Amino acid sequence: MSTLNDVAEWIAEQLPALIEKYDVPAAAVAVLANGDVVDAAAGVLHKGTGVEATTDSIFQIGSITKLWTSTLVMQLVDEGKVDLDKPIRTYLPEFRIADEDEAAIITTRMLLSHTAGFEGDIFTDTGVGDDCIEKYLGVLHDVPQLFPAGEQFSYNNAGFCVLGRLVEVLRGKTYDECLREHLFAPLGLTHAAASPYEAIMFRAAMGHVELEPGTGFQPAPVWALARSNSPAGAMLAMRSRDLLKFAEMHLNDGRTADGTQVLAPGTAARMHQPEVDLPYLGVMGDSWGLGFELFDTAGGSIVGHDGSTIGQNAFLRMVPSSGVAVALLANGGDAISLYHDIVGHVLAELTDTELPQLPVPPENPARIDAGRYVGTYSAQVADLTVSQEDDGRIWLVQTPKGLFEELGEKPQRRELVHYRGDSLINVEPEQGMHIPHAFVGDDGEGHALYLHIGRAVRRAGA
């Protein structure tokens, strides 16, 4: 097994070549082992300006923010201010969705574990004022319930905005203030920003996007998503080393390196335990805890989360049994392949675990009748239409709607083949991934009720 210094030398040598290989403008990596941290950075933060990345550069961490929101909620649980199994309306009586009966029984635990069941990709901009998250709750009044609360997993950004509002109400402060006072300060962070107004004080990365395949990655048209989605991952940015201070606290039973107790003893471990199993998706964990994504491997459990915002990607992996954590932050390109090369190497060298292999299509996929899968599955951000041609080939057309249509994303058509069981997989990789598409449930007429791609997307009209 390698030492941390060996790993640091490997990263310093390989990172520049790997970001070039995968067309990633810039990346930053930090590794924690036995209380020590090494970090590295390479590339440019903005192709338009050519500003170089350094280890003090900050990148958006996207949905890794959900771990920070979960931690803020669990601090309230530690203090006896929140009961995970009481309806969220106990604390937020104004919480409404389209299904009144379901709204009345959704709990904080369900929101933390993505089992609340209502549609979750709601990115409505409610302004930049301190009341934007409060206003966001009003946006949810017409959001449909996809399945009974607690029944299954479906990744839910909106649910974490609700949790952010829970924190605001019980603390009497804005979400950003809660981050600064209850996490930034006790963790001793020096390069972290809860808003663009703070990020501009640092060497900040710009996201890069490819609006049409083959056109190359260019600076994104905007820096961040709406502030109303901050608790889900729209704003928070930091350097990789500071992200590992958060990870170290979680690995050290809620304590910082200097002994400050951020979470009560035992709470971090509770957050890392499974709450719900996932359908096999290959690119996500095997189960989900209280905010955390969980991977089961032969060498032990890996916990963490990924983040994806407008042209930026982030990855955090922790191995509790080894006290090792690694953070990778990137601002465009094939970040998934970069993640597998770098994080995979680090974990293999410093722990007994290995990253799960990414799924790939079978060499000779079975020809199947896709009648159970054919149809349109609809969400607020996109329609997914599955069809089968006379020659037996299966196609999926993804038509962006709402925010993503406004950002200039174009419809995409990709071929799917049978993967295993009730799932198909895309033939050509998308951003470095062959994504399994699991078909779940029954609409009563022999068709799948949901197309599950991390989100349970319900069949239109069912």
The residues annotated as belonging to the active site are: 63
| Helix extents (H) in 172-273 | 175-179, 185-187, 196-199, 240-251, 267-271
The residue type found at 350 is L
Phi, psi of 382 (to 5 degrees): -170, 155
Query: What is the rounded CA–CA span in Å between residue 229 and residue 119?
Result: 14
Q: At what angle do helices 157-171 and 65-78 cross, to 10 degrees?
A: 40
Helix (H) or strand (E) holding 346: helix 335-350
For residue 217, give the nearest of 206, 226, 225 by alpha carbon.
Answer: 206
* DSSP annotation of 192: E
| Residue 438 β-bridge partners | 423, 452
Phi, psi of 30 (to 5 degrees): -140, 145
For residue 314, give the nearest of 122, 119, 66 by alpha carbon.
Answer: 66
Three-state secondary structure string covering 79-122: CCCCCCCCEHHHCCCCCCCCCHHHHCCCEHHHHHCCCCCECCCC
The SS3 call for residue 1 is coil
Tokens of 117: 């069941």
Do the Cβ atoms of 77 and 99 come closer than 8 Å?
Answer: no
Tokens of 400: 């962006």
The SS3 call for residue 418 is strand
The SS3 call for residue 32 is strand
